[in-house]
Structure 1
Amino acid sequence: MAHVRRDLDPSASPLDYYGYELRRRRDSAGLTLGELGSIIFCTGSLVGQIECAQKVPTREFSERVDAALGTEGFFSGLVGLVLQSQLPSWFQPYAAMEAKATYISTYQCQVVYGLLQTEAYARAVLATGNPGKLDEQVAARIERQRILEREQPPLLLVVLDEAVLRREIGGVEVMREQLRHLLDLGERRWLRIQVLPFGIGEHANLVGSFNLLRFDKDPDLVYTEDVISGHMTASPETVREATLRYASLQAAALSVEDSAELIKRVLEERYGQHSGPDQLSVA
């Protein structure tokens, strides 16, 4: 079936702007959909769907387009904005602030923090909500994690409830990969992962998860979520209370070293995976 061209309004959304520019620059290069697809190892149909804003481009696709069209990183730069626009509208302001933060501390009692999730784990978590556009939501979550690859990533302090390790999300293989990933991430000097063990009993934040963001110039923020959406506040009283609660959680949690040992133990005992050096290297 022939691909039907659809005129886009480039100001409608980042995705529309991407599709508009892809078509314009492909036409300028004198390439058909199929010809560009052949050069970047995909179908002409996929190129056409992206040009019509019916499919969301990946970072890999964008890098190949830049190489094929000589667009000097234009699409690689734009794809981050496109993927961010696929996040829920209520979450986008938080993601923008998260990307600016120089210091992130988070307590998670249900699932692994989004910045530390593997793709398979993220897919399983996101599928429990509204699975419409699941591929796009997963890609957007993985895109958020690029802040950890910066030359100067944020200092990231993480406290995970032990329940996070033991709650099987996505199946045994997904959990094996996720826990190995946590152990691998724990080797980074700017990232500290602590586990709050069941043995602690009641603790300073039984009400739920929260994130505390700090910045070089902007006021500190506290972020929480409810069933419907997320909430950010810079209220000094709320920030002070969250800071005190987080300090209590850190004090009650296992040390970084003991936390890694517990993760290894859960990996072996619950998910049947010996966690020696050979296994960790492939995480």
Structure 2
Amino acid sequence: MQYQVFSDAFHSYGFRCPKPLNPFLNLDLFHMSKPTFPPHPHSGFSAITYLFPSSEGSFQNRDSFGDRSLIEPGSLHWTQAGEGMFHEEIPTELGTDCFGLQMFVKMPAADELSKGQAFHLASDTVPIVKELGKEVRVLTGSYGNMSSPIQSTAPPFLFLDAHLSPETDIRFQVKKDVITLLVAVVGNIEVEGFGSVAEHTVMVLQGEDRDIKCNTTTSKAEFLFLQARHLAEDYHWMGSLCLSTKERLESTFSKLRAGALGNLSPSF
């Protein structure tokens, strides 16, 4: 089993994932209390926003296809940009802290030019697996006897938010052809046989079919368990566009300049 710990992952611009971790492109744990980014385009990947249940504030999401979604604490919004769309996400109340994760996930080359769409999962519809001292919120994919209503993202994706009480452990399955990320949000966790994952640290696991055991010692912990099948494809960036080939990237950028990726008026 190969593993790597990124202890300085969340700097000013988040964790830009190395290319061998494709489809994972970028992860950012954020605190936001005022509008930061005006409407901006994406293409070729999905922009996922999850507000942690402990977040004080909520987000308003808008996109150029007409989606208007309130992202409340504990809610997930998945913007699958495909061939291209504009979107904007801002706090609904100035001065109230919004604590969450934004993640970019590359779409496979076969799907990256499909029509964009948005998936939304409200907090009160998130399936939750509860056992003594532990709780797992199933945001996408399946865990235990629970499955998320969001099942059709490209690529298929497992996104779990795990909460552990002190001196509690939990097991997960790691697969050799899948990239697994553990993201410690609050507190520290120990991964048996692989060491510790400190708060705001990312551990990457891949290369073998096996179970892993995660546990806490003296404090409670919250961490994310993320899995996606490895995409053995290249990709290229240009601003907020990310496509599998330079030719597709240049073509998409030309469409952006011509106004063919849509438009969204700023709300601030």
Smaller-chain TM-score range?
A: under 0.3
Q: Which has the larger radius of gyration?
A: 1
Tell me which protein shows more helix as a share of its residues: 1
The structure, 1 or 2, with the larger RCO (C-alpha pairs under 8 Å, 6+ apart) is: 2
Tell me which protein shows more strand as a share of its residues: 2
TM-score after normalising by structure 1:
0.23
